[in-house]
Structure 1
């Protein structure tokens, strides 16, 4: 099975959408291209498994004057995380790991984690962690790991000093990266706070050790292949069809970011389950429909329905939202009214979220302003693709949701 280019599959009106109102999506986001904020974008909306809106606009490579097309490849960055999380849950379903297992069972470098208490990055005071890092801590970003690009904590500075910011030191594979992260202090005791981090990259290594396969092999055999996601990989299968990467530069002008984008166009030196995949709208649509279908789409079952429902529960301590237990730093979604499940954000209070959606929405996004969500109440999925760093540059995600839900009139 291969993911075919997406087109509107059913009359939007038959699924509760006003077609004229849906057209506002294109009218609004075309302005983003026309005034220079974005080079291009692609948007897809589906309900009950049927695509009701699919559009793209702009140039995937502005300087080369190449148009965005339905099969354009996009760097999805952290939209890789839900895929890697599903991989771990497949192993959980098979009884090969427990969510409560200490990860040191498979990754001995994490046998004696230490937690930062105070001090500078050059002379940190640490103590032995009173709690081991467990599998569920990796899935929920409560492990105490971090990212070098946060610039919010002395441990972040330690990561940067070791060469971990928006990449990894040259020549390091995933196993070596994991050992390096294990040698550095944790930002907090596992299970007590939420800190966006390399946790999903560590989870990818865990998948490798438990399964006995490399992460790319496991994903291909268990998720990408069965779902027909033929253009999703750790390097673009067609660099000529891959959108150029841009970043917000001085004065909020958009500049090319080829140095950051180029690694996705050649074989990966390390397999980042947290942010290394390239995909297409048609491929990722298959993944969202699997989640929306309770683990199954078109007769292909990846997870059990109860596992997907459990994935979409808020697993943060005490049922808190990210505002209560999350560190005030970079994230792909707002914190108010949003909890975190097993690899995805979970809306617990749409009113606090200040965004049109439903309780139980599963979602996440990527650093280059890509995003998806799965709404189990309204049975809607939405995806938006573009290539602009950082994801906080423009309020694309909240605007896209508003434009979709205002068109729902059933």
Structure 2
């Protein structure tokens, strides 16, 4: 039988690729004759590059040294895909070449020695994008998640040639709070977006500003106190009055407003991350020949069905008529069809602490449990076992 193992990361404990290997090992120990394919997934945040690298063995790894969110140099990895499946060929004999970037690798919160919500910036992301374009990328896919700052992506755009000036004609300092002094956006030196476009992968629907916006909702996670939040929200609102675009668009507030800035000033497209990663990783092709899919995440609940990796996979599996086995650290609700079996790591391990202490062990156990509970009765039919 053909089994596709396509989990999300188990955040805080195990990356998606490691989770996929553990689940597959547990399954294969019980059913060694099955054809098991690993296809770890992501939603545009942590683990996006690893998901692409696992799904696309033809991907080329690159590393570019750029200024991190506090200006100290960081080595940011990114991928160059020779061709996107199903995409129209781009210019040149090699066809369309898509670079996949993660904002968090260049401008992420863990790169800071200490939180700096007022001054942290996304300049490094723009520097990585420039390096990818210099390397021949004709399209960009950028995972937005885990940002350290709240600068509406202006740092990234400045690395690409945008200039921001105050009322005296001086270039603004980097960082979100300085945007309150912005009086002039100079786009004359801004590098054009690639011909194949720029897609921004998001897992949130937050607008740029207001009670549900980037500063108010996510600022405190980056160390912002109430005064910082108010200053950053006002600065973002001020930028929107000058830059135009749609600050209320769902996802505009992603990554400290980077979704808004790259869309308004560089023509980028904001898309749901889980669905886009699944598409570009080749999930549809994997499902076409599968008898079962195993997926999972740290906690499965009602929010899992609202654009997250597992929910997006369930939609595609249902459309393809492929049953699904779900593994979660915790099961907060009963998974809907096409789920034929579900396993909780906490129930297997006996406690949250035990499950978190050795997630690989319990994922292997879960893979074995599913292999024992699920029995084939025909093509694409896997009812629960006794």
**TM value normalised by structure 2:** 0.24
**TM value normalised by structure 1:** 0.23
**Higher Cα radius of gyration:** 2
Q: Relative contact order (C-alpha < 8 Å, sep 6+): which is higher?
A: 1
